[in-house]
Amino acid sequence: MIDYELLRAEAARHPYKLLFATVSGAHLYGFPSPDSDYDLRGVHILPAAEAVGLLPKEETVQTEGLRGGIEMDFVTHDILKFFTMLLKRNGYVMEQLYSPLIVETNAWHEELKEIARGCLTRRHSHHYLGFAETQWSLFVKENPPRVKPLLYVYRVLLTGIHLMRTGTVEANLVALNAEYRLPYIEDLIHLKVTGAEQGTIATPEADFHMREYRRLVSELEAAAAASKLPEAPSSQAALNDLLVRVRLTP
């Protein structure tokens, strides 16, 4: 269960006004362990004078530490940096923007979610393929292998396939598997959510998961090739307009 009171208190301590703050990480993905930390993500708004001045700018603000006995990692980017990231094939920022686990929001957040739909492209498949490859490499090099990177492999591949087929961002593995019905996902999630953050699986299972990993990689590549998503984003002008309006609002 997410302690939103704790998270809102953390957001309230941020040195800048926030456009939004949401929960990411294992809580968003649907498989938090009892000892999982909180990954809080968002966008802050540098004052206009600070944004255009010569002095160093806090484009990224990160705070971490224990809050209420739980590890907290809170990262925000200034709106200019975040909007620039939206125009690239960056799945992380898309998942943060569309996270349903909302800690701080306002009308600008809602407007941004509408505009950012025009930033989703078939090139986002490269993000998910690369992320899956990194997590798979982490999984196979450890002995015994851990459940966490394997769940990340399946989560990102299914998120990518879903995005290519539907044009919508879904980062929750439980919700994704309700559609794709991979029989082993439920068991892996059970291991993760009932055990420790660094829980492991039996080594002989790795061969089966290698075959599934390769199969889903091929499925994501095929979904990208057939996707109706555009090759390039179309929302740059709308993002620019929102950026100016937000920046100039006291």
Residue whose entry in the numeric block shows the structure tokens 């966490």: 148
Whole-number pLDDT of residue 203: 65
Q: Tell me the whole-structure pTM to 2 decimals.
A: 0.94
Burial group, residue 188, by CB count within 10 angstroms (0-12, 13-18, 19+): buried
Cβ partners under 8 Å of residue 166, min gap 6:
none
Segment 110-162, tens digit of pLDDT: 999 999 999 999 999 999 999 999 999 999 998 888 889 999 999 999 999 99
Segment 51-62, tens digit of pLDDT: 999 999 999 999
Instruction: Tell me the pLDDT band of 33, cut-offs 50, 70 and 90.
Output: confident
Q: How far apart are CA 119 and CA 230, in angstroms?
A: 9
Q: Tokens representing 194?
A: 């009932």
Whole-number pLDDT of residue 205: 79
Mean pLDDT calculated for residue range 36-55: 95
8 Å CB contact between 90 and 131: no
Burial group, residue 168, by CB count within 10 angstroms (0-12, 13-18, 19+): exposed
Q: How far apart are CA 73 and CA 104, in angstroms?
A: 16
Each domain of the chain, given as residue ranges in start order, spans 4-119+233-248, 124-226
Cα-flanking dihedrals φ and ψ of residue 142, to 5°? Answer: -95, 145
Per CATH, the homologous superfamily of domain 4-119+233-248 is Beta Polymerase, domain 2 (3.30.460.10)
